[in-house]
Structure 1
Amino acid sequence: MVTRQGGSFELAEVELDEPRADEVLVRIVATGLCHTDLTMRSLLPAEMFPNVFGHEGAGVVESVGTDVEGIAVGDQVVLSFRSCRECGPCREGLVGYCDQTLLLNYMGMRADGSTTMHQDGSPVFGSFFGQSSLARHALAHADNCVVVDPDLDLTLAAPFGCGYQTGAGTVLNVLHPDADDSLVVYGVGAVGLASVAAAVAEGVGTVLAVDLVGARLAEATRLGATAVDASGLEPAEVVARVKELTGGGATYAVDTTAVPAVVKQAQQSLASRGTLVVLGLGPEEYQLDAIDLLQGGKRVLASVEGDSDPLVMVPRLLAMRAQGRFDLDALVTTYPFEKINDAVDDVLAGRVVKPVLVW
């Protein structure tokens, strides 16, 4: 857990409640480490600590509440974000925009205000994305518990609960590109490479990957993209290179960096009436090129989890993986849980793409 705002991760003993009627107790096997875990430990207010993060958990069900259907003890599950499944957006299938998103995923407690964890009689905040899976056990719910094949390697499956479905969902659910289109992805960490893999699987005509890290660009090339190494290039040179490779500008762009200057480049790289989707979490503001935006009729929008319903998208992506059309296994580097801060250092330094913590 993280004991103070902006602090490091620490292993600690806490008391976890028994599952209530609508909850599922999962023994965690593996948890992907996502940049959202790292960002939120600094963004949440100081009074919301200590806090247990983790939202790419995968494990084995140990206990099921009496009201839960479709999940049984012994099932292997991939955990994802929560949604109420009852509000207007949820009924439309847009569960990432649930009216209760903040309460169910970020406020550190159940909907009734109770915390699922305690330490020495004091509350510990958690319920992060309805799971807090940087732990040996996590409490989840039917709406964020995806039952998967019992033979599936959960170490490789864990990132499908957030990062992979966000990147792939942005392509498959939001942009819908085809063979006549071009897509450029700025920042090819785990989320960006998932966008690349999905675009290649869909037969998109031109797929570009822009990054500073050679190892990430090599993975993008392996997946079928054309690499654009931005190291040593001025922003205008990056834009010019993308326009050259796409015949005047990309139909679509995806930014995962959350770096304002890079977001601006991504917008400028678009063809007229092109669309940019921003996915990164961090800065409060982006500065866009207003003349380029207005003269080109371009669109800039955001997406939550790639507009995915995890109960649909996770199985879809796992099926694509089984067919050899979504091969991100090589991105995973495993760490024992006690080495979590090493994993943080390595991913921030660009030494690894997708750290996964294992017990």
Structure 2
Amino acid sequence: MSLITEAAVVESAGGRFVIQPVLLDDLQPHEVLVDIKAAGLCHTDLSVAGGGLPFPLPGVLGHEGAGVVSAVGSAISRVAPGDTVILSFTSCGRCGNCRDGHPAYCDTWLPANLIGGARIDGSSPISRDGKALGGRFFGQSSFARQAVVDERSVVKVETTLPLELLSPLACGVQTGAGAVWNAIRPRPGSSLAVFGAGAVGLSAIMAAALSPAVTIIAVDMVPARLELARELGATHTIHASAVQDVPAEIRQITGGGADAAIEATGNTKVLEQAVFSTAARGQVVAVGAPAFGTTAAVDVNFIMPGRRVQGITLGDSETETLIPAIVALMEAGRFPVEKLISTYKLEDVNLAADDMKAGSAIKPVLVL
């Protein structure tokens, strides 16, 4: 049966979020109805709302949901009403990358998560006044009190942790942690530079602190974030605004260049700095999401000595493995995600967005 719920709708590119009633469609066989209890706000949401990334608007965003299953489609057996779930990206489950344990590189990833705004049959699970809205963002569109969610987006967890601490695991936290654990895999004694001490970068630092890496360098322009990076495991910090040559500073700290670098700002000039901060055979992992068509200039002769530049989506994570692992680390007090979070009510979503843009909130989470 269709359901009226309340959602944060973006009317057009550059517009603000507007809280209003929307109609959720009946569940299809492979969908789940979730009562959203918390939803993290991510820079990708802001990029879409600002028009930097294509998505059909008016629409409902939100891709870091957490909540409780309310109902399930006829083909669902993995979860049941009453289960606690974290909502992450969706995937087809059938293509080569999905079968190989890399669903973030699914053949359907772009239309199914970022730019499609609809189910595979072209319908949207969200409408208003009889007209379809852009929905199913990352398989969920969780900036709402209830969401119709694709089954591949649902990760069941068993924990007593507050859901506002869990929702960022869906994207920002697993992106940073996965970049370290799945892509870089630090060797004993290695060095890592992390550019950007936001939610993704700080999650990478927490993950690196649980690895054999010895030198962990945080680079940012906000002193408070650098202090937090130290608290979370960075061995060195660089205030980018106060240093004339960041790559040179990193080369000095590491004795020739970092073994690996993570670019977590989405700024291509910063990506160029990250490349020039690495040693021979060094690895650069780009996790930031600049606007489509953005390019970076790299001296090919500089990368010839074995340097690698790798793009990565959502930490190259297999969600049903990585997310519960991070939950377990949080329960043990070894992955303090709570230090990143500021909470807001759904009706304060624009304040949360403003605070995120201003840098005063690292990871805003809407608590419903």
Same fold (TM over 0.5): yes
Confirm whether residue 168 of structure 1 aligns to residue 177 of structure 2: yes
Q: Counterpart of 1:231 in 2: which secondary structure? A: helix
Kindly indicate whether the alpha-carbon contact (under 8 Å) linking 1:31 and 1:134 is maintained by their aligned counterparts in 2.
yes
Equivalent residue for 1:221, pick from 200, 218, 230: 230
Q: Counterpart of 2:156 in 1: which secondary structure? A: strand
Report the alpha carbon displacement of residue 180 of structure 1 after superposing the two structures with TM. Answer: 1.9
1:238-262 CA distance string (max 9 Å, x none): 1111111111100000001121211
Confirm whether residue 335 of structure 1 aligns to residue 310 of structure 2: no
The 1:87/1:115 distance shift into structure 2, 3 A limit, reads same
1:265-322 CA distance string (max 9 Å, x none): 110000011000111111411112333222x321111001111011111001111222
Kindly indicate whether the alpha-carbon contact (under 8 Å) linking 1:178 and 1:204 is maintained by their aligned counterparts in 2.
yes
Equivalent residue for 1:24, pick from 29, 32, 41: 32
Kindly indicate whether the alpha-carbon contact (under 8 Å) linking 1:5 and 1:44 is maintained by their aligned counterparts in 2.
no
Name 1:128's counterpart in structure 2.
137
Gaps of 5+ in 2: 1-8
Identity in percent:
44
RMSD of aligned alpha carbons: 1.2
After alignment, is 126-135 or 171-180 more displaced?
A: 171-180
Equivalent residue for 1:94, pick from 91, 98, 102: 102
1:105-161 CA distance string (max 9 Å, x none): 130000000011111111111100000001111111322111112522100000000
Report the alpha carbon displacement of residue 334 of structure 1 after superposing the two structures with TM. Answer: 0.2
Equivalent residue for 1:321, pick from 330, 334, 338: 330
Report the alpha carbon displacement of residue 264 of structure 1 after superposing the two structures with TM. Answer: 0.8
Confirm whether residue 77 of structure 1 aligns to residue 88 of structure 2: no
Gaps of 5+ in 1: none
Q: Which amino acid aligns with 2:67?
A: G
Kindly indicate whether the alpha-carbon contact (under 8 Å) linking 1:14 and 1:117 is maintained by their aligned counterparts in 2.
yes
The 1:157/1:261 distance shift into structure 2, 3 A limit, reads same
Q: Which amino acid aligns with 1:230?
A: A
Equivalent residue for 2:303, pick from 281, 293, 300: 293
> What TM-score, normalized by structure 1, do the two folds share?
0.96
Name 1:307's counterpart in structure 2.
316
Confirm whether residue 147 of structure 1 aligns to residue 156 of structure 2: yes
Name 1:262's counterpart in structure 2.
270
Name 1:159's counterpart in structure 2.
168
Aligned residues, how many? 355
Q: Which amino acid aligns with 2:163?
A: L
Distance 2:335 2:64 in 1: 18
Q: Counterpart of 2:122 in 1: which secondary structure? A: coil
Distance 1:146 1:219 in 2: 29
> What TM-score, normalized by structure 2, do the two folds share?
0.94
Kindly indicate whether the alpha-carbon contact (under 8 Å) linking 1:5 and 1:45 is maintained by their aligned counterparts in 2.
no
Confirm whether residue 54 of structure 1 aligns to residue 62 of structure 2: yes
Distance 1:44 1:122 in 2: 22
Q: Which amino acid aligns with 2:257?
A: G
Distance 2:230 2:302 in 1: 30
Kindly indicate whether the alpha-carbon contact (under 8 Å) linking 1:253 and 1:266 is maintained by their aligned counterparts in 2.
yes
After alignment, is 126-135 or 102-111 more displaced?
A: 102-111
Distance 1:210 1:147 in 2: 35
